[in-house]
Amino acid sequence: MLEPQRLSAGIRKAVETGPAYLSVVSYWEVTIKNMRGNLDAVNLQEWWPVTLESLGLRPMLFRPEHVAAIQRLEPHHADPFDRAIIATAIAEELVLLTTDKGLDAYAGQDLKILR
């Protein structure tokens, strides 16, 4: 949302045509980064609803089956937030929209990535 120019035309189209989801794990990560001072001052009480509404996204809750899917991931990436989002996409059979090339190691039969 802060840097839409970083999104490919394919990602923008996927979000526009939907349905597209935003994981509550992303909200958790933004909260942690904001608390550490790694993000410009973000109003955390507004960030979640404003982001969902402005991009037309649906919330994706983090459920037990998503947690269980984490254990099946290869240890390509250590970031727990990214691993939770990857596991959620796999468990829900969703295409992961990302600009993070570091997640490409997970692309394959169980996970489709659009960058």
CB-based contacts of 82, cutoff 8 Å, min separation 6 = 100, 102, 103
Average pLDDT over every residue of 44-49: 91
Percentages helix, strand, coil for the chain, rounded to the nearest 5? 55, 10, 35
In this prediction, residue 68 carries a pLDDT of 97
Reported as a single tens digit per residue, the pLDDT across 12-33 is 999 999 999 999 999 999 999 9
Q: What is the pLDDT of residues 52-111, one digit of tens each?
A: 998 899 999 999 999 999 999 999 999 999 999 999 999 999 999 999 999 999 999 899
Q: Which domain holds residue 84?
A: 4-114
79: left (phi over 0), alpha (psi -120 to 50) or beta: beta
Residue 89: CATH number of its domain: 3.40.50.1010
Entry pTM: 0.91
Longest dimension (CA), the chain: 39
Q: Output the pLDDT for position 1.
A: 58
Count: domains in the chain: 1
The pLDDT value given to residue 5: 77
